[in-house]
Chain A
């Protein structure tokens, strides 16, 4: 196990060197098709490790609990650093842990170990319910980590500002660039209700959305009740908070995340795995 802690240390040092030489991780380069190529390479590596583990000691070690414990511990340590430092990129390396190379490398290592352990348990799936739980937990987490990370560059998030009676076709990206959505959104009415103490009770947008085919789709978009058109999910995001109830402006957020179904598949596997673990407990097979 000591070797694992040293391995994590070496990864972190390598990460620091990368940070100095290349600067912070630029997630945008992962945009399609780079992410799918990386995914295939990653899976090929996993399979190579898995099927050659009897020949190469290091490969077998990677899938053992002696690698699992240090990889979790290193990920834990760096995540605690993240939790203790305000995540504001202008404050230097630690202000942006998700682009900090040691953090990213350690999480890639963790993901790799999780993938190998999933493959190991997959081979013993029919032995016991513990194995079923182990497969669901590890494979689910692997799918979530991989798809969330590789898919992040393909995710589009646009803010669309609407005025009552007006229509809008474009949204604004986080970097300020305007992007056409292919939709035309018309705001009939911005709905706002408050509690007697003035706190917002409800804010929503009564809209008509013209989709690509030219069909008009009416709908009301509430907080927690998004509307889906042509692969875009439209969320009630903001309004003119100074005007409050009198606001004639509504801000929607439009999100398109092609990798989301895979992330959700992973999440549901983890939920199922947690359910099985709740029933059978863990590590009973060692008795």
Chain B
């Protein structure tokens, strides 16, 4: 089983990510990026190996989506670090990635080759990848929000808010892609682009919360505190939409998306 090798790939990635994060704190920018990107490539190579071994996209189980999340958290860290140069961002994106890797190690799932007919669609891979990239960018936005709320109560810089805005803009754009790809796919699969299935309802909730952030920023550009709290709320909604829904009694009764 390919999954038995996961811990080794994860260990090498974690080591390279932690090294990269430590180098970033010491302002060794290029070595930091090289180490961090190497860690991300090692992690990605496991995902590709899994794709090949399973003969299907590794996106069916919750554990498989967590792989993509960890990967895109690292990618978001790389993007933010190389563009805005915050030396702390790699540490946070590493922690986020490692949390979900740990969940995968503690709660492994059965990864069979079987793919139910509803998932055999050209929409499957783009729908999941676009969503997971969006989750990664919005995870980075959450890190920014936490950083501002905890460490920068009164002296938030324009650079920090603009970073957050840019992360949300990119994340929201991809969130929109993911949701609408899902709608187009549902139309092909079931003849209904939107059915208020609990997963769809929570996708709408997540989307609306990020819309609330965007419009609040335009309406009250100086009230950073409230804006950042909206991002925390949005992150919670996103996590409910992604996996929390499996534990919601309201969703369990009626959703086709519980997996």
Chain B residues near A260 (CB, 8 Å)?
A: 187, 193
| Residue contact B254 to A223, C-beta cutoff 8 Å | no
Contacts A76-B209, A98-B196; is A69 near B216 (CB within 8 Å)? yes
* Chain B 143-182 interface mask (CB, 8 Å, partner A; 1/0): 0000000000000000000000110011011101100100
The answer to the question of A203 belonging to the interface, with a C-beta cut-off of 8 Å to chain B, is yes
| Residue contact B180 to A267, C-beta cutoff 8 Å | yes
Contacts A83-B202, A224-B120; is A73 near B212 (CB within 8 Å)? yes
Q: Which of A83, A148, A195, A235 interacts with B190 by CB under 8 Å?
A: A235
The answer to the question of A277 belonging to the interface, with a C-beta cut-off of 8 Å to chain B, is yes
Cα separation A285 to B184 with both chains bound (whole Å): 33
The answer to the question of B99 belonging to the interface, with a C-beta cut-off of 8 Å to chain A, is no
State how many angstroms separate the Cβ of A137 from the closest Cβ of chain B. 8
The answer to the question of B38 belonging to the interface, with a C-beta cut-off of 8 Å to chain A, is no
Q: Which of B120, B169, B184, B188 interacts with A281 by CB under 8 Å?
A: B169
State how many angstroms separate the Cβ of B221 from the closest Cβ of chain A. 7
| Residue contact B215 to A267, C-beta cutoff 8 Å | no
Cα separation A18 to B250 with both chains bound (whole Å): 26
Chain A residues near B191 (CB, 8 Å)?
A: 157, 226, 233, 235, 253, 255, 257
| Residue contact A223 to B169, C-beta cutoff 8 Å | no
Chain A residues near B198 (CB, 8 Å)?
A: 83, 87
| Residue contact B118 to A281, C-beta cutoff 8 Å | no
Which A91-115 residues sit within 8 Å CB-CB of chain B?
A: 97-98
State how many angstroms separate the Cβ of A79 from the closest Cβ of chain B. 5
The answer to the question of B248 belonging to the interface, with a C-beta cut-off of 8 Å to chain A, is yes
| Residue contact A271 to B177, C-beta cutoff 8 Å | yes
Chain A residues near B256 (CB, 8 Å)?
A: none
State how many angstroms separate the Cβ of B174 from the closest Cβ of chain A. 7
Contacts A72-B212, A87-B196, A148-B194; is A199 near B173 (CB within 8 Å)? no
Q: Which B-chain residue is minimally distant from A204 (CB atoms)?
A: B117
Q: How many residues of A contact B (CB 8 A)?
A: 55
* Chain B 176-220 interface mask (CB, 8 Å, partner A; 1/0): 110010011001111111101010011011001101101111111
The answer to the question of B253 belonging to the interface, with a C-beta cut-off of 8 Å to chain A, is yes
Chain A residues near B248 (CB, 8 Å)?
A: 83-84
Cα separation A174 to B117 with both chains bound (whole Å): 24
Contacts A199-B116, A200-B116; is A82 near B170 (CB within 8 Å)? no
Chain A residues near B165 (CB, 8 Å)?
A: 281-283
Q: Which A-chain residue is minimally distant from B212 (CB atoms)?
A: A72
Q: Count CB-based A-B contacts (< 8 Å).
A: 141
Q: Which A-chain residue is minimally distant from B237 (CB atoms)?
A: A80
| Residue contact A278 to B174, C-beta cutoff 8 Å | yes
| Residue contact A195 to B114, C-beta cutoff 8 Å | yes
Q: How many residues of B contact A (CB 8 A)?
A: 55
Cα separation A75 to B189 with both chains bound (whole Å): 28
The answer to the question of A66 belonging to the interface, with a C-beta cut-off of 8 Å to chain B, is yes
Cα separation A8 to B258 with both chains bound (whole Å): 33
Which A137-180 residues sit within 8 Å CB-CB of chain B?
A: 148, 157
State how many angstroms separate the Cβ of A258 from the closest Cβ of chain B. 14
Chain A residues near B177 (CB, 8 Å)?
A: 271, 274
Q: Which B-chain residue is minimally distant from A87 (CB atoms)?
A: B254
Cα separation A257 to B112 with both chains bound (whole Å): 37
The answer to the question of A275 belonging to the interface, with a C-beta cut-off of 8 Å to chain B, is yes
| Residue contact A223 to B205, C-beta cutoff 8 Å | no
Chain A residues near B194 (CB, 8 Å)?
A: 148
Q: Which of B112, B116, B172, B173 interacts with A275 by CB under 8 Å?
A: B173
Q: Which of B113, B190, B240, B250 interacts with A85 by CB under 8 Å?
A: B250
Chain A residues near B183 (CB, 8 Å)?
A: 267
Chain B residues near A257 (CB, 8 Å)?
A: 191
State how many angstroms separate the Cβ of A275 from the closest Cβ of chain B. 7
Q: Which of A79, A222, A253, A264 interacts with B117 by CB under 8 Å?
A: A222
Chain A residues near B166 (CB, 8 Å)?
A: 281
| Residue contact A271 to B176, C-beta cutoff 8 Å | yes
Contacts A201-B114, A233-B191, A263-B193; is A286 near B215 (CB within 8 Å)? no
The answer to the question of B121 belonging to the interface, with a C-beta cut-off of 8 Å to chain A, is yes
| Residue contact B208 to A75, C-beta cutoff 8 Å | yes
The answer to the question of A65 belonging to the interface, with a C-beta cut-off of 8 Å to chain B, is yes
Which B120-154 residues sit within 8 Å CB-CB of chain A?
A: 120-121
Contacts A87-B254, A88-B253, A226-B191; is A277 near B201 (CB within 8 Å)? no
| Residue contact B189 to A68, C-beta cutoff 8 Å | no
Contacts A72-B215, A84-B250, A282-B214; is A223 near B173 (CB within 8 Å)? no
* 9 residue pairs from A and B, CB less than 8 Å apart: A65-B219, A79-B201, A82-B196, A83-B240, A83-B250, A201-B115, A202-B117, A255-B191, A278-B170
A residues sitting closer than 8 Å to B (CB atoms) are 1, 65-66, 68-69, 72-73, 75-76, 79-80, 82-88, 97-98, 148, 157, 195, 197, 199-203, 222-226, 233, 235-236, 253, 255, 257, 260, 263-264, 267, 270-271, 273-275, 277-278, 281-283, 286
